[in-house]
Chain A
C-alpha cells in the first residue's frame, strides 16, 4: 500500500531579504524609531507617511521568523577569544551571544585556545587546553599570534587547537556545534561528525575581504571546509551572505543573515521601546531652560499617547526639575537618565523623534548640532549659537512654551516634516566640520601675526 507523501510544506513562509538596519551599521537601536502617529477618523493627514515608515533608511526591518526551543539546548561553541582575553569584536560578539543564549535557558560550552579565567557568565562553561577537566593534551605553543606563514607557530597552534577540539571528551550531551569564523572549522566539523550533531558556522568576515583580495590559501581552505560542513551558515550581513554564495559556493538555502547588535545599557533599557522619544541632552543648569522643556511636554503629552520625554544629563537643577515634572502631572512620562556615555548618547539620538535645546543662554549648543548630524529633527532656542547657522531647525524664543510645544507636536504629527527636517539638519551639520574650523582659526592666527608685524 503506497504510503502517502509526507507533508513537506514549510512550517513558515520564506523569509524576505532584510535591508540593512538603520544607523551607521551598528544594528538596530532598542528604541523604536519613526512610529507613526494615528489620528482622526480618516487616517493620517500627512499622506506620504506610509512610504516614510517603510523605507529601509528609516530602520524598518521586516519581521524575522522566530521559533522557541521546547527544551534547553546544549551548544558546544567553537570560539576564539573571549573577554577579558580579547582584542577585537569577535570576543564581544561571543560574550553577548552566550550571555543571551544562557538567559534563554540554554547551556553553552565555550571552547577556546586561550587560557582562562574568563568573565563568568551564568550557564556558560569554558574549556581550554590545559584546563582542569581531563581531556586530550596537545602541543600548544603560546605564541599563536606571532607567525604569518603556514609553517609558523601560529599555524601550528591553529592545528593544535583544531586537534584538541576534535578529540575533546567529557562534554556532556551536545545538541549543536557552533563554529565562529575559520579558526576551528576543521576541529568543529570533526567534533560534530563524531557526536552526530549538526554544525552551525557564523562568518563574521571572509579571508577575501581581510586580505583585500589576496587570501591565504590555508585560511581559505578552512573557511571553505566550514561552509561545506555546516548545516547552517550565519552571515552578519546580507552583503556577506551574498559573498558566501558567490565566492564560496554556499547553498543559499542554508545561509541566514543575523546582524550584530549593540548592547543597550541598563539605563537605556528603562526606556519603553514602543514609545517615541523627545530628547534633551545637556547639563541640568538653570540657563539650559529645561523647565521650558517640561512645561512644553505637559502641553504635548495629552495629545500623544505614544511619546516619552527623555532628559539625559545631570546638574544642580535636577531635584527642582523632578519636582516640576511631578507638579505638572507628567512624572510618569518624563525620564531622567542622568549622565550618559558617548555611546549611550548616540543610541539615544538614533532612537529619538525630536531633539530640543531650550536654552536661555547658549553660546553655541553643540548638543543640537550633534542631534542634527544624527538626522534628528531639532528645535533650538533663538538665543543659541547653533540657530545662527541652520535653517533646518525650528527656532523658538526661549520663553515661548506654547511655541516649543507646538513645534514638538508638529514634528511628532507630520512624518514627512520629520524626515525632511532631519535630512536638512544632517546636511547642515555635516557640511562644514572641524577641518574648516581649523582653517578659519589659522586665518585668525595669520591676521593677528600680520597685525603684530610678524613675518607670515
Chain B
C-alpha cells in the first residue's frame, strides 16, 4: 500500500476520471471530429509543447502523541519517508528518468522542464542518490530546464516576510549546487499564482512564471499563448492546458474513460489539432509509474510520445525558458490566489476548512517564536511543517465523495488524525522555541 501514502497533493484536481470536461472545446482547441492537423509553416514548428514535470516528496510526520510533548522525540519519520521514496524511485523515478534520457538522446528536438523541491533532494540524497545522478544527467543534455520554487514546497507566500524570499533563495542555491542550474522561470507551490506573486517574481528577476490555464481568468482567451502578468509585464506567463494535461495525469488509466486506452499516437494527434503557439503540459513526475502504474503502459506512452509528435511537422518542444522568449499576447490579471487544484482552482484543498486554517494560523504564530528563538534546528523543523502536504491531509470534503480521493493520498487515517498529529508536533516546536527564549511554560 505504499502508493497510498505516496504524496500527490495535486490529485486534489482529480475529477471523476473520464467525466466530461467542462472546458469550452473551441477555446481549448479540443480535437473535434473530422478536424485535421494543420500543416507546418515555414520557419520551424508552429506549436511548441511545453512539457513540465514536478518532483516533490514531503517530510511526513511520525505519530507524535499529545503525551510526547516535551519528550524530545523527532517529528519526522525518517525510515518511513525514505522507504516510500525508495519505492517510488523503483516504480517511477528511475524508469521514467531513464526513458526521458533515452528520448533526449534519440530526438534532438525533445525538451522538457523539471521542478525539484528541496525536500525531494534531501530525501533522494539519503534514499536513492542515483536519482539525483539521473537528474544531473538530464541537466547535462542542455535540453532540460529547472524551475525555481519554494525549497520546502510550502505555503511560504502566505507567511509574513522574509519566509518566501528565503525559501526561494535556498532553493536557488540548491539548484546551483546540486544541478548547476540557474532558473529563470519560477513556479509557486501547487501552481499558486496571483498578481502579488507576479510582482514577487519580477522583483526577484524571473522572466516567467507558471499558472493554471483556467477559464475564470482567461476570460475567453486561449491558454495556448504566451501572456504577461498585468502588474509586472516583464514576467511572462505560461499556462497549463489542463484538459490535455489531465488526460495523461488523471485519465490515462481510467477504463471508464471514453478515450481509454490513450495511445501516444492518438495523443499526438490531439496535440497537433490544438491551435495556438504553446501547449502547456504540466503534471507531477509521479504520473509516470506511480499515479499510473507501469502496468497501465504509461512508461511506454512516455517513450513513444516524442516519436509520435515528430510525425506532425508543425509540432515541436520547448523548455519553459525557451517558451518565455517572445512577445506576450496580452496581459492577464489575477487578483486572487489561483492554484491547479480542485474544481475551484483556489487554495481550498489546503486552507479550505477550519482545521486547515487553524493549523496554518498556528504554524504562522509558532514561526514568529521560532524566528525569535534563533534556533536553526527549530527553524528547519518549522519549515518542513510548512510544506503544503500537511494541510492537504487535513482536507474534509463536506461529506462528499472526494474525501476518498484526498484520503487515498494521505498518510493518515483521517483528516482529524492529521490535524491532531500536526498540532501536537507544532505545540512541541513552540515549547522548544519558548524554552530557548526563556519563557516559562505554564502547562
Contacts and interface: CB of A to CB of B under 8 A. Distances in A.
B117 to A, nearest CB: 27
B403 to A, nearest CB: 8
A421 interface: yes
Interface in B334-389: 353-355, 357-358, 361-362, 365-366, 369
Nearest to A431: B399
A410 interface: yes
Contacts of A410: 66, 420, 423-424
Given A39-B443, A41-B441, A402 B65 contact: yes
Interface stretch (B175-183, B234-242, B411-419): B411-419
Contacts of B414: 391-392
Contacts of B68: 406
Give the residue among B419, B420, B423, B427 with the most A Cβ atoms within 10 A.
B420
Contacts of A416: 354-355, 358, 419
A68 interface: no
A39 B66 contact: no
A403 to B, nearest CB: 7
A402 B396 CA distance: 27
B420 A419 contact: no
B67 A402 contact: yes
Contact of A48 (B358, B366, B424, B439): B358
B362 A45 contact: yes
A417 interface: yes
Interface in B77-95: none
A24 to B, nearest CB: 21
A126 B325 CA distance: 97
Interface string B397-429: 001000100010000011111011001101100
Contact of A40 (B358, B407, B430): B430
B440 interface: yes
B434 A42 contact: yes
Given A41-B434, A392-B416, A402-B65, A48 B361 contact: yes
A314 B441 CA distance: 41
Interface string A67-86: 00000000000000000000
Given A40-B430, A40-B442, A402-B65, A420 B362 contact: no
B390 interface: no
B7 interface: no
Given A40-B431, A424-B396, A303 B362 contact: no
Contact of B366 (A45, A49, A421, A427): A45
Interface string A384-395: 000000011011
Contacts of B427: 45, 413
A410 B366 CA distance: 18
B442 A417 contact: no
A354 to B, nearest CB: 12
A409 interface: yes
A207 B407 CA distance: 53
Which secondary structure characterizes the binding site on chain A? helix
Contact of B369 (A39, A42, A405): A42
Interface residues of B, number: 37
A420 B353 contact: yes
B361 A420 contact: no
A331 B156 CA distance: 48
A410 B361 CA distance: 18
Nearest to A412: B66
A420 B396 contact: yes
A318 interface: no
B369 A394 contact: no
Contacts of B396: 420, 424
Given A299-B67, A406-B65, A409-B67, A45 B354 contact: no
Given A45-B426, A406-B66, A420 B434 contact: no
A417 B439 CA distance: 27
Given A40-B431, A45-B423, A409 B354 contact: no
B354 A420 contact: yes
Contacts of B441: 40-41
Given A39-B442, A303-B443, A392-B414, A48 B354 contact: yes
A394 B420 CA distance: 10
Interface in A26-66: 39-42, 45-49
Nearest to A395: B413
A414 interface: yes
Given A40-B430, A413-B66, A421 B442 contact: no
Contact of A394 (B416, B424, B434): B416
Nearest to B398: A427
A407 to B, nearest CB: 7
A427 B434 CA distance: 39
A417 B420 contact: yes
A94 to B, nearest CB: 43
Nearest to B426: A45
A391 B395 CA distance: 13
B244 to A, nearest CB: 35
Contacts of A414: 358, 419-420, 423
Contacts of A409: 66-67
Given A40-B434, A406-B67, A414-B420, A427 B399 contact: yes
Given A406-B65, A410-B420, A417-B420, A41 B358 contact: no
Nearest to A43: B365
Interface in B96-118: none
Nearest to B430: A45
Given A40-B434, A41-B439, A403-B65, A46 B362 contact: yes
Given A403-B65, A416-B354, 10 more contacts: A42-B365, A42-B439, A45-B430, A47-B362, A405-B67, A413-B66, A414-B420, A417-B419, A420-B419, A431-B399
Interface of A: 39-42, 45-49, 299, 303, 391-392, 394-395, 402-403, 405-407, 409-411, 413-414, 416-417, 419-421, 424, 427, 431
In order of increasing CB-CB distance, the 5 nearest A-B pairs are A406-B65, A409-B66, A416-B358, A48-B358, A410-B420
Interface of B: 65-68, 353-355, 357-358, 361-362, 365-366, 369, 396, 399, 403, 407, 413-417, 419-420, 423-424, 426-427, 430-431, 434, 439-443
24 contacts: A40-B441, A40-B442, A40-B443, A45-B365, A45-B366, A46-B362, A47-B365, A48-B354, A299-B67, A391-B407, A391-B413, A392-B416, A394-B417, A395-B413, A406-B424, A407-B420, A416-B355, A416-B419, A417-B416, A419-B354, A420-B353, A420-B415, A424-B399, A424-B416
